[in-house]
Structure 1
C-alpha cells in the first residue's frame, strides 16, 4: 500500500503516537474506511505497525481488553482474532 509506505518513511523518526497518527497519509488511510481493514490487519500481522488507532477509528470498536493496552503482541492478537470473527481475509 503506497500510503502506508509513505507514512512509514515520513514518520520513521517520530516518537509521538499522536504525531504519527495525525500524519496526512495515516488520515487518508482511515478515510478509506472498511475497505482497508484487511490491509491493516495484514500490516499488523506482518510488520506490527502502529495501525491500532486506524483500526479502532474505522471499526468504531476496540477488541483489546484493558489489561492488554500497550502490549503490542496482545493487541495484535486481539485485532487479528476480531478480524477472523468478522470474516476478514487478511493473510
Structure 2
C-alpha cells in the first residue's frame, strides 16, 4: 500500500473516531454506541482498520471489541473474561501480535 493511501486511511479513521467520541459523550449503551454511523463506517473500512483499532484499544481502550469482532469474524476473548475490559483488551492485543499486525 502506498504511503499516500495509508495516510488517507489513517486520516479517515481518526476523523471517524473523533466524531464517534464527541457524539457519544454520556451514552452508556454499548449497542447505541456501536450502531452510531461513524462506528459503522469504521467497521466498513474493513481489514485496513484492524491495526488502527488495536492502536486505539492499546492507547485509550474504548469500545472497539464489537468492531474488531465484526471485521475479523473472530473473538479471542475467553468466556471467563467477557465483561472485563482490561482482560478483553489484553486478549485482542495478543491476538493482533500473533496475527502479525503492527500498530
Summarize deviations over 1:38-57 as a string: whole Å, max 9, x none.
00000010000100000000
TM-score by length of 1: 0.98
Unaligned stretches of 5+ residues in structure 2: 1-13
TM-score by length of 2: 0.86
User: 1:81 matched to which residue of 2?
Assistant: 94
Q: How many residues align?
A: 90
Measure how far apart 1:13 and its partner are. 1.0
Equivalent positions of 1:29-40 (< 5 A) are 29-40=42-53
Equivalent positions of 1:18-57 (< 5 A) are 18-57=31-70
User: 2:29 matched to which residue of 1?
Assistant: 16
Deviant stretches of 4+, over 3 Å: none
Measure how far apart 1:12 and its partner are. 1.1
Which protein shows a greater Rg?
2
Summarize deviations over 1:64-83 as a string: whole Å, max 9, x none.
00000000000000000000
